[in-house]
């Protein structure tokens, strides 16, 4: 019995180390929060157009039969600035369909921001009160969703997308490799 | 050329460490004096070689040698010299080299100051130190070589993470590592004792100064990190229960427990196997912290380059060191026989209570830190364990700890009476009850808990100083042993920390306001005017600077200039808070996003007693250093004579 007590620290360590090894080999990303929308049809969309003279953004805008990227952004958000060139590249080089939604942003600020940095969005909506963001399970901006041709959300990125996201998941998705 | 010399020195250091880690062990078991003497020479040589390697890397940073990949990734020619130097350890490879350097220096210190140790013990301690060093040097050379060249050399570097370009952060890692690595010495002593099968008063007296030194540095390192978080993150808080903060807190708690239990071994020949376990755990928890930070199993604001391969290496090393130590412990510790018997109410009893509570605290922090990881792996649920958990578990456990802390020094060894001790503390008791009443009626009547905690802070200060009252009365204050004086300082300093943190987190005032130049806002009795916004240029950043004129009753009081710095190379923004302090409270201002049309977001905080948190922590470490300067620790000749210090 007394002996067992002295072995206890070693056993505790073994248990912890087992978890650590499991964690290191599982390939999980501790930063990912998980998303309620992945694997389901894209949440409802009914927003006024951001740019004057364009049709409003509706559910139909996403059901094109082709993959669509939806990006929530705001002119006041610095990380959005960081990921912006990647969207420009996706649009110009890959011809991706990107839908932008300005979140809790004044129309003039958002359009001026896009004018200054370049506008990669095929369609753009304005979510002034942030309600659509709530439906989409948004926790802040920027966040990005990949939606397949059938209108199902396949991936959800919280925070700015990176070069690595682009190469490892977004490009394969656009080419139909990720289901 | 110089980087290659550094690389070569590192390889030689590994070879020397291998020799130092094996031959003296053989010598100690065979009683071969020549082999044992090798340990000392090897320890000094190894320290010299690692110092050479570290110097070579520093040289590459200072001269901005962009043919070295590590310098390219983490430095920039426009960076101020201080941050070029601190950039050496502001990255994964360099900080591991710093770790190896400190480890080697501690080894050399044992070789130099360990004259009074028996030959077998000293050579075993040095060998264990060297074996740990082998792990780190191999890790550096095989997975994280800081001297990797890059060809062609780029014209300039990528710069250091802007958050790290700060005087507080320049010295935070070295201090923290001095603490973490310092516990490697106590670990080595514990292993050596288990190998020899002997733990006695002399052993405890040899271990204690090393544990004390490590503990002092760790205290300073943690305090500096917390201070940095306070003024650079701009959230007004000072402790966030971030996994990395927790990683440094756990060895601190274990180390604090070790300091106290080693006294029992030294004076009363009891608690032996427990003390050995704590000596093993303090270093193991330091390594665990390193693993958690570097492997990427947990997320944190301290994102070093994270890499699962490195994670596996550190895990294997952690298993080797901790697992090896604990296995040896499971095998040998049951044979350690304690001698001293004692009653529950006694100095020993109080120190055991201290140990139980400190270890429960450490276990609580460990659980809270690792729970999200375990749950995620087992169920796939993502949770985050934050301040609410720690406030509900950690804080209540502190109450009995603090309550008992002042009583313990008044209890005698072996057997004591509680009542006389409490009688000698009656003034402290009355003063702290009065402090609770004052806090509840005059400061904030809503928060009873804050008032109680405030009372505990006062109790710690007055109760600790009370142990000096007899000496003051009898005029023997000058002859007080340094170790007792150090204890009083550290205990009272803990009270100062408690007062500071309670007041700052419970009684602060804050205001968030959007302002344009010329706007005025009233805040906690002050009138704050945003006089102007400027654009300023630093050596490697551009910044927006707000000039806030603070006045009281129409008279100018102070000017605060918070900034938002955009570091041009990394395109990263960092807030530079402006703090005006009078040591009783901080007036704290940060500048948020904004533009000339809509104005800028300005946050103002009034944090009462905030400076006391770091002042207290520094005092706490000072107490440790005072205790370290005690004659008894320097004259380490093993003696069985009764202790000089009266058991009061």
Split at pLDDT 50, 70, 90, the class of B639 is very low
**pLDDT higher than 50, residue B367:** yes
- Confidence label for B255 from pLDDT (cuts 50, 70 and 90): very high
For chain B, the residues whose C-beta falls within 8 A of a C-beta of chain A are: 273, 277, 280-281, 284, 291, 295-299, 308, 311-312, 315, 318-319, 322-323, 326-327, 329-330, 333-334, 370, 373-374, 376-377, 380, 382, 571, 573, 593
Q: Which of chain B's residues have a Cβ under 8 Å away from the Cβ of A30?
A: 296-299, 373, 376
Q: Does A9 touch chain B (CB under 8 A)?
A: yes
From chain A, the residues in CB contact with B312 under 8 A are 21, 24
Average pLDDT over residues B543-569: 89
The reported pLDDT for the residue numbered B632 is 67
From residue B424, how far is each of B267, B353, B454, B480 by CA, in Å? Answer: 24, 20, 21, 19
Task: Kindly report the nearest CA distance between residue A58 and chain B, in angstroms.
Answer: 32
The answer to whether A10 contacts B330, with C-beta atoms less than 8 Å apart, is yes
Instruction: Select, from the ranges B338-347, B538-547, B567-576, the one with the highest average predicted confidence (pLDDT).
Output: B538-547
State how far the Cα of B453 lies from the Cα of B402, in Å rounded to an integer: 10
Instruction: Mutation target for A interface from B254, B330, B365: give the one with most A CBs within 10 A.
Output: B330
Q: What is the pLDDT of residue B515?
A: 92
Q: How confident is the model at residue B383 (pLDDT cuts 50, 70, 90)?
A: confident
A85 neighbourhood in chain B, CB within 8 Å: none
Please state the ipTM of this predicted complex.
0.81
Mutate to test the interface with A, among B373, B514, B598, B600 (most CBs of A within 10 A): B373
Contact between A20 and B382 using a beta-carbon 8 Å cutoff: no
Euclidean distance between CA atoms B316 and B13, whole angstroms: 21
pLDDT range class, residue B640, cuts 50, 70, 90: very low
Integer-rounded Cα radius of gyration of chain A: 21
Nearest to B377 among A9, A26, A78 (CB): A26
Q: For residue B492, what pLDDT is reported?
A: 96
CA distance A59 to chain B (A): 30
B580 neighbors B186 (Cβ within 8 angstroms): no
* Residue carrying structure tokens 């071994």: B265
Q: Largest Cα–Cα distance of chain A, in whole Å? A: 81
| Cβ atoms B531, B548 nearer than 8 A | yes
Res. B16: pLDDT tops 50:
yes
Q: Which residues of A96-130 are buried (b: 16+ CB within 10 A; e: fewer)?
A: bbbbbbbbbbeeebbbebbeeeebbbbbbbbbbee
Cβ of residue A23 closer than 8 Å to a chain B Cβ: yes
For chains A and B, CB pairs below 8 A equal 71
Span B98-154, pLDDT tens digits: 999 999 999 999 999 888 889 999 999 999 999 999 999 999 998 889 998 888 888
DSSP-based three-state secondary structure for B73: helix
Tell me what the mean pLDDT of segment B406-410 comes to: 90
Give per-residue pLDDT as tens, A149-158: 888 888 888 8
- CA separation for the pair B223, B180 (Å, rounded): 14
Q: Tokens at residue A47, please?
A: 């927003």
Encode pLDDT of B24-41 as tens digits: 999 999 989 899 999 999
pLDDT score for B636: 46
* CB atoms B329 and A6 under 8 Å: yes
Q: pLDDT: is A42 or B540 the higher one?
A: A42
Neighbours of B497 (CB within 10 A): 21
| Closest CB from A13, A24, A32 relative to B311 | A24
Both structure tokens of A122: 């095929």
Q: What is the pLDDT of residue B644?
A: 43
Average pLDDT, integer, range B351-373:
92
Q: How far apart are CA B397 and CA B403, in angstroms?
A: 11
Which tokens sit at B478? 């000058």
Q: How many Å apart are CA B399 and CA B150, to the nearest integer? A: 56
Q: What is the mean pLDDT of residues B345-358?
A: 92
CA distance B207 to A92: 67
Task: Please give the average per-residue pLDDT across A62-87, as a whole number.
Answer: 86
Contact of A21 with chain B, judged by CB distance below 8 Å, is answered with: yes
Alpha carbon distance B94, B77 (integer Å): 18
- Using a CB-CB distance cutoff of 8 angstroms, which residues of chain A are in contact with residue B594? none
B645 pLDDT more than 50:
no
Using alpha carbons, list the distances in angstroms from residue B181 to A94, A129, B285, B358.
52, 53, 11, 21
Report the pLDDT value the prediction gives residue B210, as an integer from 0 to 100.
93
pLDDT tens across B573-607, in order?
778 889 999 999 999 999 987 778 888 889 999 99
What does the pLDDT read at residue B124? 94
Choose the mutation target among B370, B377, B564 for the interface with A, i.e. most A CBs under 10 Å. Answer: B377
Joined together, the tokens standing for residue B350 give 């109080």
Tokens of B30: 């065979």
The chain A residue lying nearest B375, using CA atoms, is A19
Whether B395 shows a pLDDT value over 60: the answer reads yes
Chosen from A4, A20, A35 to mutate, greatest number of chain B CBs within 10 A: A20
Residue A54 pLDDT level (bands cut at 50, 70, 90) = confident
pLDDT in the model for residue B570:
66
How far B273 CA sits from the closest chain A CA (Å)?
9
Query: Average pLDDT, stretch B244-254?
Result: 92
Distance CA B235, CA B547 (A): 19
Burial of B482 (0-12, 13-18, 19+ CB in 10 A): middle
Q: Which one, of B384, B454, B358, lies nearest residue B241 by Cα?
A: B384
Measured CA to CA, the distance from residue B588 to residue B211 in angstroms comes to: 37
Contacts 24+ apart (CB under 8 A), B448-454: B450/B502, B450/B506, B450/B507, B452/B399, B453/B395, B453/B498, B453/B502, B453/B506, B454/B498, B454/B499, B454/B502, B454/B503
pLDDT at B597: 80
Q: Give CA B238 to chain center in angstroms.
A: 14
Burial zone of B538 (CB within 10 Å; 0-12 exposed, 13-18 middle, 19+ buried): middle
pLDDT surpasses 50 at B646 = no
B451-470 confidence digits (pLDDT tens): 999 999 999 999 999 888 87
B594 min Cα distance to partner chain A (Å)? 9
Work out the mean pLDDT of chain A and round it to a whole number.
84
pLDDT band at B5 (very low <50, low <70, confident <90, very high): very high
Cis peptide before B130 (omega within 30 of 0): no
State residue B172's pLDDT score: 86
């Amino acid at each position: 019995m007394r002996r067992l007590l002295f072995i206890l620290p070693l056993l505790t360590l073994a248990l912890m180390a087992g978890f650590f090894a499991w964690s290191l080999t599982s390939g999980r990303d501790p930063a990912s929060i998980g998303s309620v929308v992945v694997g389901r049809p894209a949440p409802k969309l009914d927003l006024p157009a951001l740019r004057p003279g364009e049709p409003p953004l509706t559910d139909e805008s996403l059901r094109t039969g082709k993959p669509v990227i939806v990006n929530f952004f705001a002119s006041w958000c610095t990380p959005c600035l960081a990921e912006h060139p990647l969207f420009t590249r996706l649009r110009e080089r890959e011809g991706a369909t990107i839908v932008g939604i300005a979140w809790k942003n004044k129309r003039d600020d958002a359009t001026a921001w896009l004018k200054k940095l370049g506008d990669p969005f095929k369609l753009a909506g304005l979510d002034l009160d942030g309600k659509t963001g709530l439906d989409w399970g948004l926790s802040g901006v920027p966040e990005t969703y990949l939606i397949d041709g059938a209108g199902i959300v396949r991936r959800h990125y919280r925070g700015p997308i990176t070069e690595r996201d682009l190469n490892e998941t977004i490009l394969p998705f656009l080419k139909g490799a990720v289901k | 050329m110089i980087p290659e010399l550094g690389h070569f020195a590192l390889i030689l250091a590994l070879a020397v460490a291998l020799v130092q880690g094996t031959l003296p062990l053989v010598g100690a078991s065979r009683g071969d004096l020549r082999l044992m003497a090798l340990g000392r020479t090897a320890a000094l040589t190894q320290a010299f070689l690692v110092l050479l390697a570290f110097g070579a890397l520093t040289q590459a940073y200072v001269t901005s040698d962009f043919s070295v990949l590590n310098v390219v990734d983490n430095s920039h020619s426009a960076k101020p010299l201080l941050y070029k130097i601190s950039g050496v350890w502001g990255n994964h490879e360099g900080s591991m080299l710093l770790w190896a350097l400190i480890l080697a220096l501690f080894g050399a210190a044992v070789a130099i100051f360990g004259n009074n140790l028996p030959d077998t013990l000293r050579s075993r301690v040095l060998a264990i130190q060297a074996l740990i060093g082998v792990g780190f040097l191999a890790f550096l050379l095989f997975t994280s070589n800081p001297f990797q060249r890059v060809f062609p050399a780029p014209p300039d570097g990528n710069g250091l993470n802007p958050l790290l370009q700060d005087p507080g952060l320049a010295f935070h890692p070295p201090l923290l590592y001095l603490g973490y690595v310092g516990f490697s010495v106590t670990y080595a002593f514990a292993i050596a004792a288990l190998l020899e099968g002997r733990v006695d008063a002399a052993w405890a007296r040899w271990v204690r100064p090393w544990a004390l030194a490590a503990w002092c540095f760790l205290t300073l390192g943690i305090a500096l990190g917390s201070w940095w978080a306070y003024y650079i993150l701009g959230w007004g808080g000072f402790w966030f229960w971030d996994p990395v903060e927790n990683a440094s807190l756990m060895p601190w708690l274990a180390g604090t427990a070790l300091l106290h239990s080693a006294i029992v071994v030294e004076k009363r020949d009891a608690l032996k196997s427990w003390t050995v376990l704590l000596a093993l755990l303090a270093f193991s928890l330091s390594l665990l912290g390193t693993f958690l930070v570097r492997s990427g199993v947990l997320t944190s604001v301290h994102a070093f380059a994270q890499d699962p391969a490195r994670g596996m290496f550190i895990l294997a090393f952690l298993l080797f060191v901790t697992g090896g130590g604990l296995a040896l412990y499971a095998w040998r510790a049951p044979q350690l026989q304690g001698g001293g018997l004692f009653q529950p109410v006694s100095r020993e009893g109080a120190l055991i209570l201290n140990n139980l509570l400190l270890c429960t605290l450490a276990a609580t922090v460990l659980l809270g830190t690792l729970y999200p990881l375990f749950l995620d792996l087992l169920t796939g649920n993502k949770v985050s364990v934050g301040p609410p958990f720690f406030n509900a578990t950690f804080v209540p456990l502190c109450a009995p700890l603090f309550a008992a802390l002042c009583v313990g020094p008044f209890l005698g060894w072996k057997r004591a009476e509680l009542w006389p001790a409490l009688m000698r503390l009656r003034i402290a008791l009355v003063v702290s009850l009065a402090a609770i009443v004052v806090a509840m009626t005059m400061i904030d009547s809503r928060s009873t808990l804050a008032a109680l905690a405030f009372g505990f802070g006062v109790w710690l200060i007055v109760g600790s100083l009370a142990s000096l009252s007899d000496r003051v009365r009898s005029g023997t204050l000058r002859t007080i042993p340094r170790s007792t004086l150090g204890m009083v300082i550290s205990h009272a300093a803990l009270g100062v920390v408690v007062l500071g943190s309670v007041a700052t987190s419970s009684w602060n005032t804050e205001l968030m306001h959007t302002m344009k130049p010329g706007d005025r806002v009233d805040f906690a009795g002050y009138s704050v005017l945003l006089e102007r916004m400027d654009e300023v240029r630093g050596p490697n950043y551009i910044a927006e600077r707000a000039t806030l004129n603070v006045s009281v009753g129409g008279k100018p009081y102070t000017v605060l200039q918070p900034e938002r710095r955009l570091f041009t190379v990394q395109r990263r923004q960092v807030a530079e808070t402006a703090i005006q302090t009078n040591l009783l409270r901080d007036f704290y201002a940060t500048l948020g996003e904004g533009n000339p049309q809509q104005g800028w977001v300005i946050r103002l905080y009034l944090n009462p007693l905030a400076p006391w948190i770091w002042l207290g922590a520094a005092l706490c470490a000072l107490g440790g250093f005072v205790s370290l300067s005690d004659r008894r620790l320097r004259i380490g000749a093993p003696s069985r004579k009764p202790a000089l210090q009266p058991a009061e």
